[in-house]
Structures are given as structure tokens and as C-alpha cells.
A and B are shown apart, each in its own frame.
Chain A
Amino acid sequence: MRIGILYSRIRKDEKLLLGELRDRGHEVEKIDVRKERFGLESTTADVDDLDIVVDRCLSTSRSLYATKFLDSYGVPVINSPETGDVCADKAKNSLALAAADIPTPATEVAFTKDAALEAIESFGYPCVLKPVTGSWGRLMAKIDSRNAAEAILEHKETLGHYEHKVFYVQEFVDKPGRDVRVLAVDGEPIAAMTRSSDHWLTNAAKGGETKSFDLDERATELVERASEAVGGGMLGVDLMEVGVEADADPAEIGGPGEYTVHEVNHTVEFKALDSATEVDVPARVVDWLEAKAVELADGGVSEVDA
């Protein structure tokens, strides 16, 4: 197959993916979106005869536009721009999960400092303030008091970008020192791990300790439904366990539990999952990409006319 990779930075994740694709004899077309132009009918990128394109853009804005343009040319792209649009924005993400009746943390969005303060006070302390776009736990604030809330809101108002004036306020979920990251393809889990930390942020990017996790039936069901809620594709579904004591020993937490799904990521990183689990993650991803390319071709995707 001829497979395109949209990128602007080759991380270890992309390196693993490229290695697996080449080992299987696929022709890989690396498309550095920083160097290309995207017109209404064609692009400078060499997308002719690509069986599928995988969006691995590090920049969310580039990811959303590049996939939208490729989709408009009839190039099969993973993930779809529709999925990207929902996942890239935490408010849209929350709405999609809630619309599918998937347990997700209570959330309010406000557009002014005063309205945001009302939202925060209604949640009580602590609660969480997040940017609507962004990742890796950046600019996330756990707010413990009204004084802290006033200071953080004032700072956000002066940050400049209009998105910082979209105040995304969320209940604080007292998770047991860890959350769960699942890599899933069209709702089917490939691998799962916990991310543990003494800090309230447990992201692997923040130094959270990772460990393989066996999904129970409830978690598997929620991953499948969360994937469907955002339009499917190759996704990182993040869950938190609820109803578990915050200071419980993670090693002793087992059996069927209840979860809340706080986020679904559309350009999911998987190097930590590949290291933390016994699963050959890039191999499983490429298995799915190969099948997906065939499925999309059989579905009558139009010829590339770029």
C-alpha cells in the first residue's frame, strides 16, 4: 500500500509507526505540513494514489485544516476531520460524550470572568479550569479557593488568545491517584495503561508512572461508546475510576468498577503504551490501518484529483 503520514515533527510514536509500515513493505509518503500548500481543489503535497493518510500532526490547528483539505480532495484520512473537530475541543468533546449518555465530569463553559467565577463557586472547591484546546496537562488549574479562582481568571483574561476567554470549568474528580488511557481503533481497545502520580495531573507527559491495565467489561463498553460518540477512528480514550478512595493503593484496586470518561484524543500518542504493555502497539495500529484502507476503498471513496 501507499500510505501518507501528515506530520510536522517526528516523535518516537511516528518513528515506531514508520518502522512498522516499512517493515511490511508499504510505501510511505511523509508529508510535512509546514512545507505544503492546500488549495480548494488540489495541494502541493504528493497525495496521488495514496491508499490512506494518517494524521500525526503535533499542532492541532494544522491537523484540523490539513485533514479537512485532504478529505475535500477525496483522500482517505485517519482520523476524519469530523472526529478531529470534536476531539480537539474539550467543550465539543464533553458535549459529544454527554449526548451519548456516557458518564463524563460535570462541566460548564462561561465567557466572562464573572460568569466563570459563578460557575466555579457553584461547583465548589476544588474544581478544575482547563483550556478548551491543548494537551499534556498544560495550563490546567485545580482551583482550591475563591482567591485562587479570581487570580487565575484574571491571568487567563490577559493571556491574549480568544480561546483563553472560553472558560471551561469542570468538577474535580477525586480519582485514586491514577487515570486510565486506552488506545482504541474504531472502539476496539488495542492496549490500556494506568498513569499514576502523587500530583493531581497524572498525564504521562507530566511524568505520570505508567503500568499496563486490564480493562473490565464496563471500561471496554465505555471505550467503544466514547469512540462512536466522537466519530470513531484511532483514539486515545481517557477514563477515571470513580467511587474509589483517593488514597487507595492502586495495586489493590481491581474488579469491575465505575468510570467517568473525561477526554478522547484524536492524534493519540502511543509510545508510553508500547513500553508499558506487552502489546506490539505499532503492529496492531498498522493491522488496523491496512484493514481500514481496504474498507475505505471498498466504500467507494473517490479518486484523488489533487
Chain B
Amino acid sequence: MPIRGRVSATMTSDTDTLTAEDPITGEEIEIPADVEVGEIIDSPVTGTELEVISLDPVVLEEAPELEEDWGE
């Protein structure tokens, strides 16, 4: 079961970012405000790939591991 982190979306006052909970460390992190559900972002804390599960509230989850048939 992937690790999941959740926190209510908070738009910072002077930048286009949201704050969310890093699901690995539990720390509060900033992510771009224009993220999409399904988008993969790198945790600024650990570098781990995180998937945006929802935006309201912001929920991040450890992204799935690379699978053999992934590609283009």
C-alpha cells in the first residue's frame, strides 16, 4: 500500500505554490499551485517521486515504481 500524506490546500500569499504533507517524511512541503491530479512531482525533501492523488484536499502518495511496459 503506497504511503499517503494529506493536508488541506493552502495557497501561500506571495507565490504560486500549495503546501502539502510529504507522505514519506510527514514534513510540510511546497508544490506548484498548477499541479494536476495524476502529476508526478519530486519531493523537495527526499527526491522521491510523488503522485498528486487529489487537490481538494491536496493528497500526495508515493508514486508507482517503474514497470516493464512503460514507455512511449
Contact: A133 with B72, CB < 8 Å? Answer: no
Contact: B67 with A59, CB < 8 Å? Answer: yes
Contacts A15-B39, A136-B72, A265-B71 supplied; 8 other A-B pairs, CB < 8 Å: A9-B39, A11-B40, A15-B36, A30-B36, A59-B70, A134-B71, A161-B68, A236-B72
The interface residues of chain B, by DSSP majority, are classed as: loop
State the CA gap A268–B72 with chains docked (Å).
Answer: 5
State the CA gap A224–B68 with chains docked (Å).
Answer: 30
B45 within 8 Å of A by Cβ? no
Chain B proximity mask over A245-280: 1 for CB below 8 Å, otherwise 0:
000000000000000000001111100000000000
Q: Which of A14, A58, A131 contacts B70 (CB 8 A)?
A: A58
Contacts of B68 in A (CB 8 A): 131, 133-134, 138, 161
State the CA gap A135–B63 with chains docked (Å).
Answer: 19
Q: Which of B38, B71, B72 contacts A8 (CB 8 A)?
A: B38
Contact: B72 with A135, CB < 8 Å? Answer: yes
State the CA gap A256–B36 with chains docked (Å).
Answer: 43
Contact: A136 with B71, CB < 8 Å? Answer: yes
Contact: A10 with B38, CB < 8 Å? Answer: yes
State the CA gap A269–B70 with chains docked (Å).
Answer: 12
Contact: B36 with A18, CB < 8 Å? Answer: yes
In the complex, which residue of chain A has the Cβ closest to the Cβ of B66?
A138
State the CA gap A49–B64 with chains docked (Å).
Answer: 32
Nearest CB in chain B: distance from A140 CB, A: 12
Chain A proximity mask over B8-45: 1 for CB below 8 Å, otherwise 0:
00000000000000000000000000001111100000
- With most chain A CB atoms within 10 A of its CB, the pick from B39, B63, B69 is B69
- With most chain B CB atoms within 10 A of its CB, the pick from A10, A11, A30, A135 is A10
Chain B proximity mask over A2-38: 1 for CB below 8 Å, otherwise 0:
0000011111001100100000000000101000000
